[in-house]
Structure 1
């Protein structure tokens, strides 16, 4: 196959073999960073015309449209229109596009579009139902709207993928709520699956961390605006002259903001130094005034939302609280612990927190992963810039140095490594994964922080990639101007560091001109922190070779086509410039040619050059190309080489590769007529027609090999995967383990070693009824069908209820886990989240001859303290270590959790299975565990479940004497219409905990019941909707009993 034919339309009429392509055929050119497009068409387009013309090329489907959200303007007069992607009228959380215009004409576009969406836009649960689910997932004693006497939060339908990726099949319809509570203090965007009420995702909105005269704690004596309160005849920290007002309140070391009061002063000379650090209130007040003035003066921005909303500060939050944070609406400051820190209200921190609000109303960077690190970094950047602007004597590159007794601060923009933060993208100290701190947002911020320092002050050195840099500083304000322009006009919610680089470069062009010194230093400063490449005055690069990667019919004279680009900032490569092009194959003879450009190659344009020496690729095998270019005065040569492998296949149309066994799979339903289904990929050069015959050699557990055939259900071409069904009728009815050896057979297949699967294990577990599963030996492996999640595992160990061995089930290496996950809270439907951390342990039960049935097992659990330590959660959660029982995939018990992190002793548990008496079914233990103790060096604990002595028998028959006094539990009538009774015989004296869970394991209600020893009878009435629930009763000794309850 001759490559020249493929390029004929491109090179037609070019006798010298060179074509200078300024734009692609559509006028929309994708730039070096994915999602960035330069419009280079000859026609001037408005934003609306641009969307209409490039709707499909941008990735939008017939059911998608873009809705304008806001318009921002640059100092250069550029206009930036920010659009939200809608699918069938519903916002797509990862879908945004910004269209940039000058003189009303589009020149650039960037963002993220999710293509190929096709979702049902109808919700199965109502907005009010979804809100109740959200409040169950994030329970609180006092919600903010209750304390304020406001209406409950309103939900909106969105289309969400919690990874915010472009994988359309992972998106789901969800309700989105702003859940804000005072006790515990928390605020989150909560996403509820609109079809089943499960928790789709959550994102924290808590981003941690008359003229009067004030003697501030950290900034000396300053003038502030206050108000006179005629009722008290005192002055208060109310500034009604600045914007929409600046107000500072006293939380009195409490957490409920409804109890906050004013700070008072009798003479408007605020020198209120005392043991409570009341003087720090004026730092918050003066700092908020300065932040408002800074953004108004430099960027014509009026408050964080540009709508002149008031700036409210809450001081003295909680007791010994070492943090400050923005909650999406206001600033909150702790007093520190009085030992290592004093109140966290220095000017840089005040600016940092308010900038979080500005970020929310501009790019709205999500507080997770790289976007979260950029979010934190922009707050640090303006924390430093505003400190330099208004406190020049105390201005420095440290954050929070004023309130820490070490004087070192929390972060150092000039030297991130001081706190083990990275200064190079994915270099030393770079944090991987999303577990720590929402994805290391406070440490990975060091990369853009260091970029800002370099762009401000300038510096030289070598980064972690061993790249040398020498940056000329522009001053802190010019660097801040570029950062703000980027934040306001170019970044979206999901931008990463490469987007930040592209936006900063474009911002420098907007503010200072293309190829200005500011543009060059901005670009080179990003190179210094490991993002992108530096600028060059005159730079020709080799971008690619046009060659087939794999073919079956390459010839002895294949064209080698070079794709070159003029990377120069502003300098064209003029006609007549000589270019040398060379390539070698497999390290052999270097083929060299020289040519001259007859047409000028403009900046950022490409040319295709056909090498004068063709390549002989006619023999079967791999060809490794090494190509290079050179021209005089090329300032950067690192991008002048390119390597590519081409494979010539010998012609064949018969190769298959066996991928996996689809059937049989382990389970209780294996029978005496089991067929085999396989997935295989066709690797022939051409195609095979529907109906083509193919066969399988197979052997079951060492028996003689047999052959059986089938035919293709459709035609296949190279790379197509097909399911092959073979009617083998294997007898797998008996209990136990089987092994299969499989060999796919097709005449002429040249590669046989990829057609075979050996010792494929299939298990039909031994029945549990009438016996016990202990773990003294490995026989349990034939009685339990174990399906581990990717981040879960189990093993026999020495922790046992009886004997010497039990089964230990643990979570995964959560500290290195790269994907988003949810922390199950007390009332969370834990079984709807974190599938890779869940596992099942199943067995088969033939209870067709039974009239009553009961499951007994011994259980011990513990849960980790790591959650609160590293995720800033309100508390640790016992639900990180959860277990429930399933029958045929449906819950038949409530959710078992530990009573404390260190774990309980083994408890004998009982689950009533009378509803399944008379049936054949699969019985499973389902577990959810996040943290494996062996991977947790922070708190040195983990989520653990220990199982032992699993026994199934008639109701009332136990394997051994319970460890506590036995009791009889009865719920009647069942089913009922809302009124029911619970009878408890031989009850112990003490407190019984009664819990009602829904079918998904969500806790619907709880109550504690004080009892005396002896028989008890309780009457209950409920208004729960009709459905199936579980009633879980825990005795004072920790014994648990679960009963299914049906409300009609």
Structure 2
């Protein structure tokens, strides 16, 4: 539903008035307040209100949330569900010390001529689900490639440790383009000349920054702009103005969005940008601070970076900033870049400009690397090869995606979008050959570009928050698909299957999706509880059956829970069958091993997730002769974690005695731990249930995927 500026403002005003009651209903703390930032109303009357949070008057970074309400119960999407509280709002580190440290940190990351944009502001940092009193300092300057730098440095107000050091000038790569003959908006001035001010698109202005980084309004005597060559400085201005108006029209015509911030206000574009006189910007960027886009002339100063997909990419950064505000923590930066690529392709197809044939490539008119190739291929991102940062774009999600450079991590989202729009396999579109594989080798059927863009846009503006990564993006896009096409639709399945195609979540086969089966071995004498989790895109309940389970186990046909105690070791050719109410079935065969556990050796091979900064306990039943344990009890542990050596291990005897097994450290980056430890158990009973407790000792400023206790055993 398209809201007029007046309607939108009325809803925002109502949200402001209701904010205290909303905060209370959400059970926020007494020092927390909600500040409405945006509102969307669906045709059915559902209102989605986006809020920022404050704590004791301090902005909360990573505390944003979206309230979804119609007439019934409301639902909420949180950037963080952690309890918002800090011991004190009095900083131990002074603002001056925070500023000095931020300047040094920014300079170390490549910001030249670094200076503080304003005094550091005190905030609560919540991006890692651990609220921390902090200082945020905005450092401005120039990046190595000549781009303006607007680096946000967040530091712990108690220790001074850097929590975030993120560049907020979003840059796309590119350096050559041409949009052909187009119609652009201009305004006649009082002196009879014309200026590149577009009255139909919020008064968007196009400036020339040659020798003046702030830019001078581009003007002309006869309202005929440029000559289509890079030698004429107006040509790049035409491309920038055309890109801005086309992207504005795309968002308006497809989603009813009225400009970048949905308030009818135009931004401005700066071409021939020089952050420092004579130093050419090698690419293009969006900058929140000026609400503007800046376009350079390439590394050699001769190739304006103003193609339609580059312009759409940068303007989409502005839309993201005005909505979900995808931040600089975890996978959010990569997702931010990917969404700009998605919208750039969608804008190209919307424009259908014969001089820039629509495709799923980025900056294909630009020869950035001197090899005549695009800088991004959405059907198979790794085709772009090694970039200037030393890595190739990622085709599929892996745990390392969290730490990848944003443009490289964007490959996961780019590939998802191509699969969702066009599907997998070989095809030719507008003369371009594509061949998109999937992670699991299963085919994916696309739903068309327009539908794919609609799903992503709704997910971005309604369900994503500042901390959204790829797993949460899957959830957001599935909710969006359910809103637009129904939760039992083929489009809903396609979204899940496209994500599964890039190794994010599960896909549907025969309308049934199944979580990875818990097929790690079981052990004789050890109680088993393994849950089969499945969903169907068709109405009705699921039923479960199994053949050849390890002897002693059975499955609940209505819940899919496998329980029992194995009593015979061996390899079992197990088959799990899941059936939905429509009669569709999905059959899952695998070999399930039952290990021998008893005598002097007892093992629990069940995998347990190690929660971040939390702990988990795995039980192990020991049977045999009563009495105390040996003085040289062997404890063998297999686990994986980004910082395995930061995991603390304790053995809990049947009588509750805690026996230390492994302390914290040593501090080394070790992704797996496979070790046997000897402990003295002579003072505790042998028979009963033992437990191995794993405590995650990873420092709080690291945001890692959870680890896993794979198995452990005792040898008496």
Does TM, scored on the shorter chain, surpass 0.5?
Answer: yes
CA distance in structure 2 between the partners assigned to 1:261 and 1:49 by the alignment: 48
> Aligned pair in 2 of structure 1 residues 624, 176: CA closer, same or farther (>3 Å)?
farther
CA distance in structure 2 between the partners assigned to 1:143 and 1:96 by the alignment: 29
Is 1:343 aligned to residue 304 of structure 2?
yes
CA distance in structure 2 between the partners assigned to 1:407 and 1:320 by the alignment: 21
Equivalent in the alignment of 2:314: 353
Equivalent in the alignment of 1:986: none
Deviation at 1:129, TM superposition (A): 6.4
Match runs of 1:255-274 below 5 Å? 256-258=212-214, 260-272=215-227, 273=229
Contact 2:470 2:504 in 1 (8 A): yes
Contact 2:506 2:513 in 1 (8 A): no
TM-score normalised by the chain length of structure 2 = 0.69
Contact 1:537 1:571 in 2 (8 A): no
Match runs of 1:660-809 below 5 Å? 681=650, 683-687=652-656, 716=657, 747-748=682-683
CA distance in structure 1 between the partners assigned to 2:245 and 2:502 by the alignment: 34
SS in 1 for 2:332: helix
SS in 2 for 1:518: helix
1:286 corresponds, among 223, 227, 242, to 242
SS in 1 for 2:63: strand
Deviations 1:599-657 (A, max 9, x none): xxxxxxxx27686xx5367x9xx999997532564533349998864732246666789
CA distance in structure 2 between the partners assigned to 1:323 and 1:249 by the alignment: 16
SS in 2 for 1:387: helix
Equivalent in the alignment of 2:294: 332
Contact 1:657 1:682 in 2 (8 A): no
Q: CA RMSD in A?
A: 4.6
Deviation at 1:486, TM superposition (A): 0.8
Is 1:459 aligned to residue 417 of structure 2?
no
Deviation at 1:499, TM superposition (A): 1.0
Is 1:531 aligned to residue 491 of structure 2?
no
Greater gyration radius: 1
Contact 2:531 2:562 in 1 (8 A): no
CA distance in structure 2 between the partners assigned to 1:202 and 1:464 by the alignment: 35
> Aligned pair in 2 of structure 1 residues 54, 628: CA closer, same or farther (>3 Å)?
farther
Equivalent in the alignment of 1:425: 396
Contact 1:655 1:750 in 2 (8 A): no
Equivalent in the alignment of 1:218: 178
Equivalent in the alignment of 2:668: none
Equivalent in the alignment of 1:396: 359
> Aligned pair in 2 of structure 1 residues 466, 488: CA closer, same or farther (>3 Å)?
closer
2:345 corresponds, among 384, 387, 403, to 384
Contact 1:550 1:648 in 2 (8 A): no
Equivalent in the alignment of 2:461: 488
Match runs of 1:878-957 below 5 Å? none
Contact 2:152 2:168 in 1 (8 A): yes
CA distance in structure 1 between the partners assigned to 2:628 and 2:47 by the alignment: 57
> Aligned pair in 2 of structure 1 residues 590, 96: CA closer, same or farther (>3 Å)?
same
Deviation at 1:69, TM superposition (A): 4.6
CA distance in structure 2 between the partners assigned to 1:616 and 1:516 by the alignment: 41
Contact 2:458 2:480 in 1 (8 A): yes
Deviation at 1:564, TM superposition (A): 5.0
Deviation at 1:409, TM superposition (A): 2.0
Contact 1:626 1:642 in 2 (8 A): yes
Contiguous gaps of at least 5 residues in structure 2: 1-17, 386-391, 427-434, 594-604, 607-618, 635-647, 665-676, 687-697, 704-716
> Aligned pair in 2 of structure 1 residues 220, 76: CA closer, same or farther (>3 Å)?
farther
Is 1:250 aligned to residue 211 of structure 2?
no
SS in 1 for 2:443: strand
SS in 2 for 1:507: helix
> Aligned pair in 2 of structure 1 residues 641, 498: CA closer, same or farther (>3 Å)?
farther
Contact 1:388 1:395 in 2 (8 A): yes
Is 1:206 aligned to residue 206 of structure 2?
no
Deviation at 1:528, TM superposition (A): 1.6
CA distance in structure 2 between the partners assigned to 1:546 and 1:91 by the alignment: 46
Deviation at 1:360, TM superposition (A): 1.1
Equivalent in the alignment of 1:234: 193
Contact 1:284 1:345 in 2 (8 A): yes
Structure that is richer in helix per residue:
2
Contiguous gaps of at least 5 residues in structure 1: 1-45, 146-151, 210-215, 598-606, 660-678, 688-715, 724-741, 752-789, 791-817, 821-1048
> Aligned pair in 2 of structure 1 residues 656, 507: CA closer, same or farther (>3 Å)?
farther
Deviation at 1:78, TM superposition (A): 3.4
Is 1:507 aligned to residue 480 of structure 2?
yes
SS in 2 for 1:401: coil
Deviation at 1:135, TM superposition (A): 4.8
CA distance in structure 2 between the partners assigned to 1:67 and 1:248 by the alignment: 33
Deviation at 1:247, TM superposition (A): 0.7
Equivalent in the alignment of 2:12: none
Equivalent in the alignment of 2:535: 567
CA distance in structure 2 between the partners assigned to 1:566 and 1:450 by the alignment: 25
